[in-house]
Structure 1
Amino acid sequence: MTGNADDTILLAVTGWDPDVWQTEFAKAAPARKLVLDADTAKDKIRYALVWKQRPGSLMGLPNLEVIFSLGAGVDHIFHDHQLPDVPIVRIVSPDLTMRMSEYVVWQVLDHHRLGLRYRQQQTQKVWHEDRRQPAAHEVTVGILGLGVLGRDAAQKLRNLGFRVSGWSRRLQTIEGVTSHFGKDGLKDFLKDVDIVVCLLPLTPETKGILSMSMFAQMKAEGPLGAPVLINAGRGGLQNEPDILAALDRGMLSAVTLDVFKTEPLPKGSPLWTHPQVVITPHAAASSSPQALVPEIIAQLESYERGEPLKNIVDKAAQY
């Protein structure tokens, strides 16, 4: 398993500029060869770095050993139904984790402190003093997904004084956080939350989970009125017509969406103009080559020393 300086790395990305990744790799590991076209070095490619790779582009590489996802999620990899049977590794980076926690805290606080209302009042030049705002300890923030990102966000929200609960596939223990797990635990989780933050991976089990059937299980009224939804996970988690219907029926008071089924979000989508919707352009936790390339190089070097890979994806669960 000892690496050679001339082991070749394939960069297979679509929708991203590969030049910045090439530049950072040249700085961090000048002895390693990075290629964009597998056909130029099929027999030498040992690793693949991918983001929405073209289906079938990783087949026919006889010496491929590891696939690295360049994003926090890995659902984009599984859109390719011709994946070779090699380990897939998720990127876990302090930079990505901090960016996501910043986003979650920002949006939770914005809804908690009535940001939407005040921005609307400003556009109308309305001065309305709202003396009563709930304290953080009166508000329960529920996090769907207690992986690395969810755990960090939960801890930061706890530090701000919010009550925090979480839901995950398996039981997770986090100090100060009420944990729920499994199908039976989801109902108990939903009935108490005022703000729901979704950081779930997109898998066959979670696809479309943010739908009317979930909203109907949430409480009708809390310190912020109806519950708030924040989705910074994946667009495939949400049923967008159901979200609009829940807003119009008063089942949700507001939503923040960073991800969508179709990206960029089509200009004709009613989400753009709904007064209770905050839209950000898949910007919650962007992958930074400057931050991630050193993490990838460190993984390669430890693997080549014979150490086990970290953050290996469960292919059956797809995360």
Structure 2
Amino acid sequence: MSITIITQGKDLTPWVNALKERRPELDLRIYPEGTHREDVEFALAWNHPLGAFKEYPNLRCISSMGAGVDHILKDPELPEAAIITRITDPNLAKDMAEFTVALVMNHVRGLSSYKIAEQRQSWEPKRYLRTEDVTIGVMGVGVLGTYVARHLNEIGFKVNGWARTAKEIEHVEVYVGQDGLDAFLAASDILICLLPLTKETANILNKDTFRKLPEGAFVINVARGEHLVEQDLIGMIDEGHLAGASLDVFREEPLPKNHPFWEHPKINITPHIASITNPATAVSQILDNYDRLKKDEPLTGTVSLTKGY
């Protein structure tokens, strides 16, 4: 049984090396190279060319190279028989939590404003917020969101979560569904988006959502760029209702050089680096599912096509 890697614009050297180191005899192919595509039953994919999967008539599993699967599910020609899986490497959750804490503390301590003052050689001490005085709302408390919520709570923040269905997280109150959304937003001094991208969550970070946040709230998006209505964010910051935002994901990546986010003094930009899959650790799960597929055993990290995650 062969594996093919299907992606665009990604350096595959670390992935190939990690897979070959663990399984030297693996029949590994790189799209679009290779013949006898009927032998390929397992695909490892990220941002693939739409329609590429249909070129493999016997594809049984499509594994995302990361935690997200929206890049796979947007393909209108997905093989009906293929199981979709995603990476659930615990390092991804740890990395996301550490990065999110850094963004939160940057805002709470006002560090970005000091960088601007530094460039002017201006000494401008300011009051800062304390952890016990700030309530953080985490939109989406799946594997990553739950880990982030717990981590923020452990360092002293009051943390709430919002989810589609009821969940129990120690020391974190979880608001549920549309009925709980308004109360969740009204209590969020800092709003962190960690939602999966689905039809229901696309464009959820919009003007209506922002208006329900307390005045002076701060927005962090580390999920997907399509969650955010960009002009609504700029408008609400310029209006003074929002204090600012930290964004790690965008509708178009790399962010175009003429995009207004670059020049906005209250928007912090990072290049989608919050949590990056490490091939050296991720290949264990990939090869485990590869072996399970050969034995017709249940796979791990499977994705519901109806839920989108």
TM-score by length of 1: 0.92
Match of 1:32 among 26, 29, 36: 26
Give me the CA root mean square deviation: 1.4
2:93 aligned residue: 97
Find the aligned partners of 1:276 and 1:114 in 2 and give their Cα distance.
11
SS in 2 for 1:256: strand
Which among 259, 268, 291 is matched to residue 301 of structure 1? 291
Query: What is the aligned counterpart of 2:106 among 107, 110, 132?
Result: 110
Cα distance in 1 between the residues matched to 2:56 and 2:121 = 63
Sequence identity percentage = 37
Residues 204-243 of structure 1 correspond to what in structure 2 (within 5 A)? Answer: 204-220=199-215, 226-243=216-233
Q: Matches of 2:122 and 2:172 in 1, distance apart?
A: 39
Q: For each residue in 1:181-239, what CA deviation from the matched residue of structure 2 results, as whole angstroms up to 9, or x when unmatched?
A: 1111111100011101111111111111111010111112xxxxx00000000000001
Give the match for residue 283 of structure 1.
273
Q: CA deviation at 1:35?
A: 0.5
State the one-letter code of the partner of 1:49.
L
Structure 2 matches for 1:83-232, cutoff 5 A?
83-85=78-80, 86-130=82-126, 132-220=127-215, 226-232=216-222
Query: Matched residue pairs, number?
Result: 307
Task: Give me the whole-angstrom Cα distance separating, in 1, the residues matched to 2:157 and 2:209.
Answer: 22
- Name the amino acid aligned to 1:114: G
d(CA) in 2 for partners of 1:14, 1:60? 16
AA aligned to 1:73 is: G
Q: Counterparts of 1:16 and 1:287 in 2: how far apart (Å)?
A: 12
In the alignment, the residues of structure 1 paired with residue 259 and residue 50 of structure 2 have an alpha-carbon distance, to the nearest angstrom, of 29
Query: What is the CA–CA distance in structure 2 between the aligned matches of 1:177 and 1:30, rounded to whole Å?
Result: 45
Residue type at the aligned position of 1:256: S
> Pick from 66, 69, 85: which aligns with 1:71?
66
* Structure 2, gaps ≥5 residues long: none
Q: Which residue of 1 aligns with 2:39?
A: 44
Does residue 15 in structure 1 map to residue 5 in structure 2? no
The yes-or-no answer on 1:315 pairing with 2:305 is yes
User: Displacement of 1:60 after TM fit?
Assistant: 4.3
The offset of 1:105, in angstroms, is 0.8
The 8 Å contact of residues 7 and 31 in structure 2, kept in 1 or not, is answered as no
* 1:302 Cα offset (Å): 4.1
Q: Hey, what does 1:3 align to over in structure 2? A: none
Structure 1 residue 113: Cα displacement: 1.1
Alpha-carbon deviation of 1:124?
Answer: 1.8
Q: For 1:185 and 1:15, locate their aligned partners in 2 and report how far apart those are by CA, in whole Å.
A: 40
Q: CA deviation at 1:292?
A: 1.3
**2:109–2:128 contact (8 Å) kept in structure 1:** yes
SS of the aligned residue for 1:43 comes to helix
In structure 2, the partner of 1:4 is none
CA displacement, residues 60-93 of structure 1 (integer Å, 9 cap, x when unaligned): 4333211100121111012211000111001100
Structure 1: unaligned runs, 5 residues or longer? 1-6, 221-225
Equivalent pair of 1:8/1:41 in contact (CA under 8 Å): no
Alpha-carbon shift at residue 306 of structure 1 (Å): 5.0
Q: Deviations over 1:155-181 (max 9, x none)?
A: 110110000001011111100001011
Q: Distance in 1 between matches of 2:307 and 2:51?
A: 21
Aligned equivalent of 2:263: 273
State the shift of 1:304 in Å.
4.1
Q: SS at 1:218's partner residue? A: coil
Letter in 2 for 1:18: L
Cα distance between partner residues in 1 of 2:288 and 2:55: 27
Query: 1:128, CA displacement in angstroms?
Result: 2.7
Q: Counterparts of 1:165 and 1:305 in 2: how far apart (Å)? A: 42
